[in-house]
Amino acid sequence: MRWRIASVAAVGVLAWYLPYQLDLYGIHVVDIAIVFALLAIGLGLAMGVGGQINLAQVAFFGVSAYAVAILTTKAGLGFWTAAVLAVLAAALIGLFVGVPALRMQSHYLGIVTLGLALAFTNWVTNSAVTGGADGVSGIPVPPLFGIDLSSEYLYYYVELIVFGLALGFAVFLVRTGLGRRLRAMRDDSLAAGAIGAPVPVLRMTAFVLASLYGGVAGVLYAGLIRYVAPDTFSIANMFLLLAMVIIGGRQSILGCVVGALALSLLREALTDFATYAQLGFGAVVVLMVVFAPTGLAGIPGRIHRALRRGRAGEERAVLKPFQPSGHESRGSGASLEISGISKQFRGLKALTGVSMTVAPGEIRGVVGPNGSGKTTLFNIVSGIYTVSSGRASVNGTVVTGRRPHQLSRLGIARTFQNLRLFGQLTVRDNLLVALDRTSMWSVWRYLLWPIGIWRSERTLRQRADALLDRFGLSDFAGTTPGSLPYGIQRRVEIARALATNPSLLLLDEPAAGLNGQEVGQLREIVRSIRDSGVTVVLIEHNMGLVMSLCDRVTVLASGAVIADGTPAEVAARPEVIEAYLGDSMNTADLITEAESVR
């Protein structure tokens, strides 16, 4: 930490004295590079942190720069009034461009944002108000307490301060609640929704953040050059910006900045060989995505890991035993009532008229052969699927037809059959996303009361550490889940589900891939969770676990409930045995056999 503060201070001092070393051309290049660095931060926030492909970043930049130009020269507004309006305009466009992200992702989003960026260039090159291909000139020098900002040296300091604040804000944001949610959504939007992150709002937020940075960059650019023309906002520059972010490392804000500064300077140095430089940038981008997808920013981590592998086994992290919480049983959990649920996928009937009632504080097993509709049932109760007919309610509140993140707030938590942890977040961050129950309305604090965020972060961290302790995961708090053994990952996912403070917990095959000892630990954990006041429903194929753990068992076959009762009752039912073994065979000896085992 001290080392970090010292290096930030050192960079700050260097930046402050930099102009003394530069000639007029040099300072101009640096001023432009800072504008690109701001744009790159915005793009990094949307793409690297939020996972939203955004090829319209130059359009946000352009909207703001043009707004300043038009408002100052044609509407006669003062520079700073125009600047505020311009940033707002960029944010508005950001919202507009972000709307498609609600419906589509990945390459579809790429083409739509790229298309909208082209639409923007098409508009500015042809409209009379934007001056067509000639652009708008005569933007006034920004007034600032009598400081002459027509000097690019002095303007540098304005840029430096704005840039410092913007960079600090971005880094703060990425490390605290909002950024964590964005990163969680990037890694797995389905799981993020299931633990309470409002995915649609977050997607829009990613675009608004990108456009805000684009807007600020546009204002600075307009004040610096005092002339705007369509060329600056071309698709070629969009790709240059993309190259900066990819080469620097899209998931690291500092990486984006380094990439932007490096490529801006490089481009100036190679200005006589512009085409070859472009060729080189393109080739480097291709090589980067194949060989170093985390960019320059990821290289220190790779070296670090390679070194650590060299001297392995120094202090091995150990999974500590789970500690059943002795304290507080908050009520007895929620009741779950499912009545007549049917679900069809394009004519395929996955569930037909499924009804079941789970009492508060119960551990209920849901079993059945492959493809009998168990996971579909979970997906309906947790809001991932809509029902074709019927409804489910938790504690009397109807839950069908609501979004996963709303259901998470109603106290429903779940795990997934194939583990959906946030792969690039640490184990602690995985839990923190779930522990953070603040609503999206509280993002205003980022602008007006960052101290408040800092404080709640501290309490969240304490609670995360307590939870890590309880699950015996403390040694793994700082590691990413992908590098952990499977059994530990399963435990992390249960801890994450529990971090949302649920009253109903749905576990989808929690014992899959666990060894005998781990299954035993799982049994302990589930019992303790129930004792702390949570109703548990679990899908499981390990019948030994189901028989010893569950209070009641529901058997599904071909999308319908075929039996419901205590484990012993259910295991004796001929139709259940038939569903499992294909034939009821002679069940009489089985029941006596079962009784002798007990």
Partner 1 sequence: MTFVAQDLVVSGLSVHYGGVRAVNSVSFTVGAGECVGIVGANGAGKTSTLKALMGLVPRHADTLRFGDHDLTRTKARDIVRCGIGYVPEGRHVFPGLTVEKNLLLGAYTLPWKTAVQQTMSEVFDLFPMLAEMRHRLAGALSGGQQQMLAVGRALMANPKLILLDEPSMGLSPKLIDDILTVLRRLSAAGHALLLVEQNAKLTFEATTTCLVMENGEVAMTGTSTTLRHDPRVRQIYLGL
Partner 2 sequence: MEVFFQTLVGGLSFGAVYALVAMGFSIVYRTMGLVNFAHGQVVMIGAYAASTFYMSAKLPFALAIVVAMAVTGLIGLVIERVLRPLENKDFDLMLIGTIGFGVVLESLATIIWGATGHAVPSPVDTAPLDLFGIRIRTYSLVVLAIAAVATVALILFLQRTKRGAAMQAVAMDHEAATAVGIHVGRSNAIAFAIGAGLAALAGALVAPMLYVNPTLGGSLGIKGFAAAILGGFGNIGGAIIGGLAIGVLDSFAAGHFQAYSELVVFLAFTVIIMIKPTGLFGERTVNRA
- Give contact residues for partner 2 (rule: CB under 8 A): 47, 51, 53, 99-100, 103-104, 106-108, 110-112, 114-116, 118-119, 122-123, 125-126, 190, 235-236, 239, 242-243, 246, 275-276, 278-279, 281-286, 288-290, 293, 345-346, 375, 378-379, 384, 416-417, 420, 508
- Let me know: does 317 contact 310? Beta carbons within 8 Å: no
Indicate whether 369 belongs to the interface with partner 1 (CB under 8 A). Answer: yes
Binding-site partner at residue 469 among partner 1, partner 2, none, CB < 5 to 8 Å by type: none
Nearest one of 478, 451, 454, 453 to 464, comparing CA atoms: 478
Binding-site partner at residue 335 among partner 1, partner 2, none, CB < 5 to 8 Å by type: none
**Please, what is the minimum distance in Å from the beta carbon of residue 25 to partner 2?**
25
DSSP 471: T
Binding-site partner at residue 242 among partner 1, partner 2, none, CB < 5 to 8 Å by type: partner 2
206, with CB counted inside 10 A (0-12, 13-18, 19+), is buried
Binding-site partner at residue 513 among partner 2, partner 1, none, CB < 5 to 8 Å by type: partner 1
- How far apart are the C-alpha atoms of 354 and 12, rounded to whole Å? 65
Rounded to 10 degrees, what is the CA torsion of 264, 270, 274, 276? -110
Site for partner 1 in 515-534 (CB under 8 A): 516
- How far apart are the C-alpha atoms of 230 and 65, rounded to whole Å? 11
Helix (H) or strand (E) holding 370: none
48 or 223: whose CB is closer to partner 2? 48
29 or 590: whose CB is closer to partner 1? 590
423 or 565: whose CB is closer to partner 2? 423
- How far apart are the C-alpha atoms of 106 and 60, rounded to whole Å? 20
**Please, what is the minimum distance in Å from the beta carbon of residue 581 to partner 1?**
4
With H, G, I as helix, E, B as strand and everything else as coil, classify residue 503.
Answer: coil
Strand partners, 342: 389
Tokens 């049932």 -> residue: 377
- How far apart are the C-alpha atoms of 543 and 562, rounded to whole Å? 17
- Let me know: does 510 contact 490? Beta carbons within 8 Å: yes
From 10-18, 85-93, 319-327, 584-592, span contacting partner 1 (CB under 8 A) = 584-592
42 or 223: whose CB is closer to partner 2? 42
Q: Which two tokens stand for residue 287?
A: 């090589």
With H, G, I as helix, E, B as strand and everything else as coil, classify residue 427.
Answer: helix
Tokens 């640490």 -> residue: 426
366 or 547: whose CB is closer to partner 2? 366
**Please, what is the minimum distance in Å from the beta carbon of residue 183 to partner 2?**
14
Binding-site partner at residue 241 among partner 2, partner 1, none, CB < 5 to 8 Å by type: none
- How far apart are the C-alpha atoms of 367 and 356, rounded to whole Å? 13
Among 453, 546, 556, 561, binds partner 1 (CB under 8 A): 546
Strand partners, 338: 356, 392
With H, G, I as helix, E, B as strand and everything else as coil, classify residue 391.
Answer: strand
Helix (H) or strand (E) holding 537: strand 535-539
Binding-site partner at residue 273 among partner 1, partner 2, none, CB < 5 to 8 Å by type: none
From 37-45, 224-232, 242-250, 574-582, span contacting partner 1 (CB under 8 A) = 574-582
Task: Give the count of beta carbons closer than 10 Å to the beta carbon of residue 127.
Answer: 12
Binding-site partner at residue 369 among partner 1, partner 2, none, CB < 5 to 8 Å by type: partner 1
440 or 594: whose CB is closer to partner 1? 594
- How far apart are the C-alpha atoms of 579 and 567, rounded to whole Å? 16
One-letter amino acid at 23 equals: D
Binding-site partner at residue 164 among partner 2, partner 1, none, CB < 5 to 8 Å by type: none
Indicate whether 558 belongs to the interface with partner 1 (CB under 8 A). Answer: yes
Q: Which two tokens stand for residue 460?
A: 């969240």
Binding-site partner at residue 512 among partner 2, partner 1, none, CB < 5 to 8 Å by type: partner 1
Sign (positive or negative) of CA dihedral 486, 490, 491, 493? positive
420 or 490: whose CB is closer to partner 2? 420
124 or 363: whose CB is closer to partner 1? 363
Among 78, 324, 353, 544, binds partner 1 (CB under 8 A): 544
Residues near partner 1 (CB under 8 A), total? 30
Binding-site partner at residue 116 among partner 2, partner 1, none, CB < 5 to 8 Å by type: partner 2
Contacts of 231 (CB under 8 A, 6+ apart): none
**Please, what is the minimum distance in Å from the beta carbon of residue 574 to partner 1?**
12
Nearest one of 536, 530, 521 to 472, comparing CA atoms: 521
DSSP 345: E
Indicate whether 543 belongs to the interface with partner 1 (CB under 8 A). Answer: yes
Binding-site partner at residue 597 among partner 1, partner 2, none, CB < 5 to 8 Å by type: partner 1
With H, G, I as helix, E, B as strand and everything else as coil, classify residue 252.
Answer: coil
315 or 589: whose CB is closer to partner 1? 589
Indicate whether 580 belongs to the interface with partner 1 (CB under 8 A). Answer: yes
35 or 319: whose CB is closer to partner 1? 319
- Let me know: does 335 contact 535? Beta carbons within 8 Å: yes
Q: Which residues lie near partner 1 (CB under 8 A)?
A: 369-371, 485-486, 509, 512-513, 516, 541-547, 558, 571, 576-577, 580-583, 585, 589-590, 593-594, 597
